[in-house]
């Protein structure tokens, strides 16, 4: 997989999740078994706005020619994926969310593996 393909996929995933979180937070909250309260929806919309921004960054990073810039984006993405995995696991094990959260955990794990793969391949090419 090329870095450009990975960044394209990661950007689309982030943008789609971001749009869903911003536009239909109540539905998303109910799907994951969280309480459908106004402050929960608002927090999900804040997260969605951040995801939209991150998705756009990933989209434009596809065209970076400088490996150091791409590397920085990939490292940032990997750190964010690890943090999200930890939060997902904690929330699931504490029964704050239902089993559907495993789907987003799998997506995040795949994105993390992709970022680490691109970092390892890019580092070998840069050396």
How far is it, in rounded angstroms, from Cα 66 to Cα 95? Answer: 43
Give 70-74 contacts, CB < 8 A, sequence gap 24+: 70/3, 70/7, 70/122, 71/119, 71/122, 71/123, 71/126, 73/7, 74/3, 74/115, 74/118, 74/119, 74/122
Tens of pLDDT, residue by residue over 23-72, are 999 999 999 888 889 999 999 999 999 999 999 999 999 999 999 999 99
- The pTM assigned to this predicted structure is 0.89
What are the boundaries of each domain within the chain?
Answer: 3-126
Res 126: pLDDT: 65
Tens of pLDDT, residue by residue over 92-124, are 889 888 888 889 999 999 999 999 999 999 877
Buried b (16+ CB within 10 A) or exposed e, 35-59: eeeeeebeebbebbeebbebbeebb
């Amino acid at each position: 997989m090329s870095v450009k393909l990975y960044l394209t996929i990661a950007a689309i995933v982030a943008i789609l999740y971001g749009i869903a979180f911003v536009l239909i937070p109540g539905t998303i909250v109910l799907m994951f078994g969280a309480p459908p309260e106004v402050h929960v929806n608002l927090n999900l919309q804040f997260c969605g706005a951040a995801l939209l921004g991150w998705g756009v960054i990933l989209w434009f990073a596809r065209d970076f020619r400088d490996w150091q810039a791409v590397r920085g984006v990939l490292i940032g993405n990997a750190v964010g994926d690890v943090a999200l995995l930890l939060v997902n696991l904690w929330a699931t094990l504490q029964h704050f969310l239902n089993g559907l959260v495993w789907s987003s955990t799998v997506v995040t794990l795949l994105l993390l593996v992709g970022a680490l793969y691109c970092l390892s391949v890019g580092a070998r090419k840069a050396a």
